[in-house]
Chains A and B, each alone.
Chain A
Amino acid sequence: MTELTKLTLKAAIDGLKAKTFSSTELTNAFIGAIETANPALNAYVETTFDKARTQAAASDAKLAKGEGGALEGAPLGIKDLYCTAGVRTTACSGILENFVPTYESTVTQNLWDQGAVMLGKLNMDEFAMGSSNETSKWGNVVNPWKSRGSNAELTPGGSSGGSAAAVAADLCLAATASDTGGSIRQPAAFTGTVGIKPTYGRCSRYGMVAFASSLDQAGPITKNVEDAAIMLQAMCSHDVKDSTSLDLAIPDFSSFIGKSVRGLRIGIPDEYRLDGIPAEIDALWEQGIAWLKDAGAEIVRISLPHTKYALPCYYIIAPAEASSNLARYDGMRFGHRTDAAQSLTDVYELSRSEGFGKEVKRRIMIGTYVLSAGFYDAYYVKALKVRRRIAEDFTKAFEACDVILTPATPSAAFDLGDQAKAADPVQMYLNDVFTVTTNLAGLPGLSVPAGLDSQGLPLGLQVIGKALDEGTVLNIASVLEKAAGFSAKPSKWW
């Protein structure tokens, strides 16, 4: 039955509908795979196998009658950022070590309403703050991929490292993830999977543990582009519980898969050619351009002049919002409370210092500093103005093109415990150099695996679309996917 785990989401849904296999068989295959792999990969921080078996049995009853939703019987992994009623949700932080939500996030509720089965909660950087999964309270995830001829453990990327590793290692059909600066797309690129962050507001943020609310957006990590369309369709909805949720019709995303791209204009931004980027990544970008040209698309040079300011801008706005969002963890109503307090201030300070990890504390302090009296205008307001400049760059560029093609990441997956990145936070932050601009502008972005580097590690290309135009993004990505013929999988060492 292990072969069942290798199916795409689409193939599994079709197989379930055709009764080629049951959801119970499929679910048990994944449970077996997780039990074998998780001690080595650490992708799941909590498994919910009993719940999964119950949901699978209910799905089988529906499928037997020819009923069921779009994801009926499909076993999924859920990033630990999503509140799941009755199932511990920690955002991989010590401060939420024992938090068991009494309510369900809208995105996960949408999935259960469509018949999905929950296998468990997936590892991530603490509060989604990180690019290597090393800030998780529960230890890092290990990338299923290894460099050719090397046994060194690599990062799966972050913050959705558990989601990416679980999909790459066939430990779920697809996974939920979230993206504040690149947390879906960078891990997808590092693991040979597909990840899409939709337009800000497409998915409800209700019940997602907040990091930076004006940037946070849900999205899936999947085995291919068609699966991404299916998952995104199920996750998106208008939700009155999130005032930033968009009350707009959601197109049929799957209908864009494989459509002709003839005549579409592909923007290639000059500013994404960075010094010090490996030649292989530049070459892959050129290859992507050639593939789209061959498919009949028109290639247009564009300029996004404020690109280099996106990351510093993000590292003001995101920590500022985080410092405010994370003020709720005060040791009173929920979350960790210290045992060592002598005074009220002690309770606050010690509970927070014991509960939060190093990177989260660092970002809270940056955020507090840039919002503090005397620095608010110089840092925070300035960043908000630069953010508009970055968004305007895109508006202008999209007058000349329909989508933008860029590399997804400035490198392939790097070693866990990378000393240079551990010593200098800015080096780690630079991972998001190609992805963070779309968060600031609120635009959809997708990473699709397009090739392997000389070490045998996957590399991704990023497709950026106009606001609300996930359809064209998925269309372009499906054409790139077909041209690349990317079918590599990590060799099983776990």
Chain B
Amino acid sequence: MAIDVATVKKVASLSRLRESDERLQSLAGELNGILGWIEQLNEVDVSGVEPMTTAIEMPQPMREDVVTDGDKVREIVANAPKTVDGFFIVPKVVE
């Protein structure tokens, strides 16, 4: 499953990353190297094996359905690139 530059470009776009054409070229090589190495997983017989999604099996804990937090506008916007009056200022999204 070799990856070409067009595929790398698509993956970059899905990742919301913009890379130079030169970098995309070398990334294709790097990703092929890594994915080629990963191919060895095909040697493992996993028939009948359930995917493992958690290291320690335990039921999802439930919490009481009560308000535990809030009234923290100042803290929430404290690290925003741009704010006005407790609102996030984001770039124009509709032309």
Where the two chains meet, the residues of A that have a C-beta atom closer than 8 Å to any C-beta of B are 98-103, 199-201, 214-215, 240, 243-244, 246-247, 306, 308-309, 312-313, 315-316, 323, 327, 330-337, 341, 344-345, 347-350, 352-353, 356, 361-362, 364-366, 368-369, 372, 375, 378-379, 381-389, 391, 424-426, 439-442, 467
Contact = CB atoms under 8 A, between A and B. Distances in A.
Contact of A334 (B17, B79, B93): B79
Contacts of B40: 308-309, 312
A442 B55 contact: yes
A365 B15 contact: yes
A237 to B, nearest CB: 15
Interface of B is mostly: loop
Contacts of A341: 91
B60 A243 contact: yes
Contact of A388 (B13, B27, B52): B52
B55 A309 contact: no
12 contacts: A200-B56, A309-B40, A316-B38, A333-B88, A334-B80, A349-B17, A369-B3, A369-B35, A372-B14, A385-B44, A389-B44, A391-B55
Given A315-B38, A349-B13, A349-B17, 6 more contacts: A332-B90, A383-B41, A385-B50, A388-B52, A389-B49, A424-B33
A474 B79 CA distance: 41
Nearest to A426: B37
A368 to B, nearest CB: 4
Given A309-B44, A368-B11, A425-B34, A352 B52 contact: no
Given A366-B31, A388-B52, A100 B78 contact: yes
B33 A425 contact: yes
A274 to B, nearest CB: 15
- What is the size category of the interface that chain B forms with chain A? 35 or more
B58 interface: yes
A385 B75 CA distance: 41
A335 B80 CA distance: 7
Q: Across chains A and B, which 3 residue pairs bring their CB atoms closest together, nearest first? A: A442-B55, A384-B51, A334-B79
B55 A214 contact: yes
Contacts of A201: 55-56, 58
Contacts of A247: 61
Contacts of A100: 78-79
Contact of B52 (A306, A331, A335, A384): A384
B8 interface: yes
A80 to B, nearest CB: 16
A385 B27 contact: no
Contacts of B42: 382
Interface of B: 1, 3, 8, 11-19, 27, 30-31, 33-35, 37-38, 40-44, 46, 49-56, 58, 60-61, 63, 72, 75-82, 88, 90-91, 93
Contacts, number: 158
Nearest to B33: A426
B65 to A, nearest CB: 13
Contact of B56 (A199, A308, A378): A199
A356 B14 CA distance: 16
Interface of A is mostly: helix
Given A347-B91, A441-B55, A389 B15 contact: no
Instruction: Choose among B1, B37, B41 the residue with the greatest number of A CB atoms under 10 Å from its CB.
Output: B41
B79 A99 contact: yes
Contacts of B1: 375, 378
Nearest to A202: B56
Contacts of A383: 41
B51 A335 contact: no
A309 B41 contact: yes
A100 B75 CA distance: 10
Nearest to B48: A385
Contact of B49 (A215, A375, A388, A440): A388
Nearest to A467: B56
Nearest to A374: B1
Given A215-B55, A382-B41, A386-B41, A361 B75 contact: no
Nearest to A217: B55
Given A100-B79, A312-B38, A365-B15, A214 B54 contact: yes
Nearest to A387: B52
A77 to B, nearest CB: 23
Nearest to B91: A347
Given A315-B34, A379-B38, A335 B54 contact: no
Nearest to B38: A312
Contacts of A384: 51-53
A309 B3 CA distance: 22
B61 A243 contact: yes
Contacts of B43: 309
B50 A388 contact: yes
A353 B58 CA distance: 38
